[in-house]
Chains A and B, each alone.
Chain A
């Protein structure tokens, strides 16, 4: 049972306070929390654990885009319920407001209050399905805003209980009107890889999500099957997916919610190769450290590899760093992070970063080695090789338009040096 939820800005200021039960929690707890963040993570809440024990309360916190969602309880409750709920709140707010940051929450604080009140009652999640919430509390769209400006009044509240709140399929309203009769399926994969100091690929796997944007009238029945379902090692499903057909035939059968949702997430382990290589080399000698990083395409996925960046934390005990690249830009950020933005790899040359790190006086060699974090994005391909075989839509008056997309980006891609 959560006693209250606070939304904090990235300077520890309380943006929104929502008490959940009769016994109120003083916002002094936020001050305590922020002192804790300052003491333990130098003011960066993303480095704090999700469960924190304060002298008076147990705190749960998650961090998104400079905004901390903080919840308090004093009694036993499943911690994952609190954490998952907070991330659901963050997701719903992002979905509603288009983005999530301090200003946007302040600008729409009434909606935030209404959403929080509907999502949680007496410290326990009440309505968390975005579709139903949207019918109870209208998202701030441009029409609403203009109405507000022109007429000076508007209501964000739906006057009527959504049918779905009471239906057997809580994620879908029974009648979806003015649907454009189309369904889009988007496979988004993240490639996790780990290359050790010897240059050996220790681990390489793809974490994928199938996102569906569905705008179909009535109560449609969808069936999706894969060409190669066996390559998936793990999966989780949206509650709309029926377990039986998946267990027996590995077919996804579901009545979709209206709008955007995550149908499933999966993981394909033990991939053999990464699309690009990053070869860092650090040699230190008598107070100097030569850095050289080479980046190139190892396995051409057939589509352009975009927005490649390589990022690493400069080792401590460095007096100065002089790093240049023959392609792209090199920035050294405030927290001693070096960010090399490459973009696309050019045809004619191999991007390379090189330079010199000057070590502190009396230090001959570098004793710690940085880990290089690689980012990239490839549109139009799922690197795991997962393929959707077909998508059947039943129960619709006319055949809907079906669209498919795929993209892969780097997830936790670590190259150690």
Chain B
């Protein structure tokens, strides 16, 4: 019977697995995958690809099959295609060069008639993230953004997100596409556009302004995931555009802080409490954190901003936003509900906020997985408007299945929203919780009881009764010593009693007496300490307590030796307090007891106890010897004073922990994890947006690798600070840069750091500094701490960071270098009857065509006779030169010159300049020319200089680095250890810089700029303590090849000492690799 059943089960299991891919997952290696991949049949290929997928799923690295897989991308079968795409996306970043092989197929697929194929091709092509193909993808995205199929347009929006880190310099183009997609008819596309907006250009809120109304209206129709994104964008837009709503919760808080001192705002809190809203200082802090500006500015400055930045709820945009987000409170997606609720919480008039409460609370039940995150947000909401949540206290009753963290949050919310009507029910719940098996939770409950009792004194007596009973019960329990966590409950119970009693000790004296009387039953040291403290603190109060003092004191003296160190210290303290307040009639008795205790303590094993005893024995005689003035110690009064301050000083009223770490925007990850996650951005400054459309081009957001955007400012600034303290060089640099701000002259050198550079774009440097200094320290800490955690940041950004951190940048303008063209001889006077022709390459641009290279010819008559009919012709083809412009793209690639008019006559000793325009076609062989003079033909050779084949291409450093990144691998040529000696630069001493690094920097730059036609992008100087060390010195030059307009980048890196030989590494990046190699050789030659 049994066997039959089990075989039946096995059979059904086999049937269940039949026809699935189970065998592939179980044993993916049992067939030769490469052979299958090469098979002619699609079925085999599918089989192989599924095996590969199974291996990927199991964590096996199958990247070595990449080439074989990639070629199958051309397959006609959709299934093969899809599986190849899955594989490709998994490994593309590892095998970039091979992935390139697939690009042609993608291009082809992009014009397939099946929209699904087009969409897949676009998704994969963008997904493989190759810098080289990024421009192609951009073209494809542009095309697909206008595709007839909405699905393809949606995928185009997704592809934009992938592009934005690959093409940071194309931000404008990307924004344009976002703009187009925002205007799309299909809600799905608009949603995806919102996503693209958030990734590509989250700060270009001006872009939203023209679509605002339409976006709001589309909001309910778009997909739920994009609703979350779009709501956030719209909220930021409205705040940046209009500021806060005047009668919203948030601005009500802000009005609070506008009262000049924080204390004055306290009364307003009580006024508004009747209204249902209770603002406390911590709430105000909370709101300040939400807004970018508030966390940065010192108070006074911020206040003036705030008053002006408030709008009314009648504002159209605000009203539309609120109207369109309110139905979303019924969404099935808790993320959407929370996003919509946050908008209402921040923007809605106070009276309307309550509509968010029901939906938000319902998510606790409808999306159980979201419950904990939701509770964290509810806690924040509840703290600002406890009365609105008060009727819903039942929602926060604990279920048996709640994990501990959820329970803790519920308890905190319950204490926050407890009111007179609800406290009875809540208190009954709390009593149930005391019996819960989770003792940590029980301890929390006991603490919560104390908080409620402090808040609502009417229940204090009941609470105390309950707590006392708990103390007695627990003390009996914990004596049996079985349980973990039992002690914590006992200690917490006594702490709660202490907290409640503190408010009005005299009225609770019975409680104190009962608690103190139980001290002999309690063995837990911490609990004993607490009780002894309470005894000492209140020993003289009321009528009942003094009566028990002698007995308790005796008992303590009696148990002293058996107690632990902490308890002994507390007993000593308590005895001192007792003796300070002791009535006359007990004086003698108490004196003896205390003396006994001190005596015992003096011989204790623990030195802390002995020290305390010695202290007391010096301090206390002033109390005990006041009877006879003759025995009065000399410093009695001072002693008394001292003792009073030590033992009787008023306790600082310890406010219930005001530490609120939930200072981040509701619904954000940072709010859930209690620190600023990388990429967290607070709300924009209210009314900070200008409606000018130039704003779109605003360069504030330089990169989108979100991991660093949030914190880079802080980081680099701190580096900057330390630099200016430690190094003379950058000190000077700071001066220079400040100086630069004052007068508009272009200085020769100015050193700046990235932070300053960023600062300059928006505001002046001083403001920027103020911003940085007053930044919330905790935020900074957590950010940097996390940065260091997240050590997995992409390697190249790290390199970039370290570059920025350790080097100052020296900016030479191109004009600060004289170009001294080097003269070469074309024709020597001895060969040509006295005509000497010299030539030099010029950086001028030919007026005829950009691809022509200008050569300056200097013709000099060194004879005493007149020379006539001087002309210069190309030796070979003198035809065809007319059509130079047309043939340039043709196959004729022989160097040609543009015919120039000859010189009729040249007087003796006269020099004539002539400009020859040559089309070299990148040929480096000498150009044969014939110089006609006096009717004779003199052959001559013009040696081309590749350094002048290029034209300067002005760009900034970021653009340079991006370009450089795209031109890695095969497009990069480098020559290492190019040695130069610095001795030859001694003559530079006459220049104003005496710094050797600067000398080196200057000399190399001038060499390059003097001999090549390039643009100096930047010059980075290492900032080290060792002035001699030039390692890290870096020059960057940019140029473009005129015929193809391809950029050609030159980077020179130095290593070694300024005084010794210098090792340079020269690197050229260009798509035209042959040209790059030649250029590299030439540059090296120039430097050497």
Q: Report which A residues bind B (CB closer than 8 A).
A: 14-17, 19, 22-24, 27, 47-51, 53, 55-58, 62, 73-81, 83-87, 106-111, 113-114, 117, 121-122, 124-126, 128, 136, 140, 144-149, 152-161, 165-168, 170, 192, 194, 196-198, 202-203, 207, 233-239, 243, 246-247, 262, 265, 267, 313, 315-317, 360, 362-363, 367-371, 373, 412, 414, 416
Contacts and interface: CB of A to CB of B under 8 A. Distances in A.
Shortest 8 CB-CB contacts between residues of A and residues of B: A145-B19, A80-B335, A234-B362, A166-B150, A75-B679, A243-B327, A107-B22, A76-B679
A165 B225 contact: no
B378 to A, nearest CB: 13
Given A80-B374, A85-B225, A370-B437, 8 more contacts: A23-B794, A51-B373, A84-B335, A87-B369, A113-B86, A125-B223, A234-B362, A236-B330
B57 A17 contact: yes
Interface stretch (B88-96, B443-451, B938-946): B88-96
B706 A76 contact: yes
A83 B223 CA distance: 16
Contact of B114 (A51, A159, A239): A159
Contacts of A113: 53, 57, 86
Given A19-B89, A78-B228, A49 B403 contact: yes
Contacts of A76: 668-670, 677-681, 706
A78 B25 contact: no
A22 B93 contact: yes
Nearest to A86: B369
Given A84-B334, A117-B86, A168-B187, A51 B669 contact: yes
Contacts of B188: 165-166, 170
A108 B162 CA distance: 29
Contacts of B57: 14-17, 109, 113
Contacts of B127: 22, 121-122
Interface in B99-156: 114-116, 119, 123, 126-129, 149-151, 154-155
Interface in B212-238: 220-221, 223-225, 228, 232
A207 B397 contact: no
A161 B114 contact: yes
Nearest to B478: A367
Given A110-B50, A113-B53, A121-B123, A58 B673 contact: yes
A56 B787 CA distance: 9
B151 A165 contact: yes
Given A108-B20, A267-B362, A414-B400, A161 B367 contact: no
Interface stretch (B175-183, B428-436, B532-540): B428-436
A107 B21 contact: yes
Given A19-B90, A22-B129, A367 B477 contact: yes
Contacts of A146: 19
17 contacts: A56-B790, A79-B667, A79-B672, A80-B334, A80-B374, A87-B367, A107-B20, A121-B123, A122-B162, A149-B19, A161-B115, A166-B151, A196-B432, A235-B330, A239-B223, A239-B224, A239-B331
A156 B78 CA distance: 10
Interface in B694-709: 706-707
A239 B187 CA distance: 13
Contacts of B366: 207, 236, 265, 267
Contacts of A23: 93, 794
Interface string B383-408: 00000000000100101110101000
A108 B16 CA distance: 11
A236 B437 contact: no
Contacts of A373: 400-401
B673 A51 contact: yes
A369 B431 CA distance: 12
Nearest to A15: B57
A28 B385 CA distance: 44
Contacts of B79: 155-157
Nearest to B82: A157
Contacts of B353: none
Q: Among A14, A17, A170, A233, which residue has the most Cβ atoms of chain B within 10 A? A: A170
Given A56-B792, A363-B480, A161 B119 contact: yes
B375 to A, nearest CB: 11
A144 B21 CA distance: 12
Contact of B335 (A14, A53, A78): A78
Contact of A106 (B22, B150, B437): B22
B845 interface: no
Interface centre among A73, A86, A117, A239 (most CB of B within 10 A): A239
Interface residues of B, number: 122
Interface in B341-359: 358-359
B887 to A, nearest CB: 44
Contacts of A161: 114-116, 119, 149, 151
B191 to A, nearest CB: 10
Nearest to B373: A79
A236 B372 contact: no
Contacts of A14: 57-59
A43 to B, nearest CB: 15
Nearest to A359: B482
Contact of A78 (B401, B480, B669): B669
Contacts of B26: 106
Given A49-B372, A83-B373, A197-B435, A77 B669 contact: yes
B36 interface: no
Interface string B48-79: 00100110111100000000000000000111
B66 to A, nearest CB: 15
Interface string B363-382: 10111011011100000000
B339 interface: yes
Contacts of A369: 435-436
A125 B225 contact: yes
A411 B497 CA distance: 38
B25 A109 contact: yes
B114 A160 contact: yes
A161 B148 CA distance: 13
A80 B667 contact: yes
Contacts of B78: 155, 157, 159
B46 interface: yes
A168 B22 CA distance: 38
B791 interface: yes
- Counting chain B CB atoms within 10 Å of each CB, the highest count among A109, A316, A317 belongs to A109
Which of B21, B436, B707 has the most chain A CB atoms inside 10 A of its CB? B21
A17 B792 contact: no
B677 A75 contact: yes
B892 to A, nearest CB: 44
A84 B333 contact: yes
Contacts of B361: 234
Contacts of B195: 124
A152 B42 CA distance: 12
A246 B79 CA distance: 44
Given A62-B369, A109-B25, A317 B482 contact: yes
B428 A196 contact: yes
B22 A362 contact: no
B454 interface: no
B158 interface: yes
A144 B482 CA distance: 61
B161 A124 contact: yes
B362 A80 contact: no
B483 interface: yes
Contact of B436 (A165, A196, A368): A368
A143 B79 CA distance: 18
A362 B224 CA distance: 59
B330 A233 contact: no
A338 B696 CA distance: 66
A211 to B, nearest CB: 13
Interface in B414-461: 425, 428-429, 431-432, 435-437, 439
B10 interface: no
Interface in B671-700: 672-673, 677-681
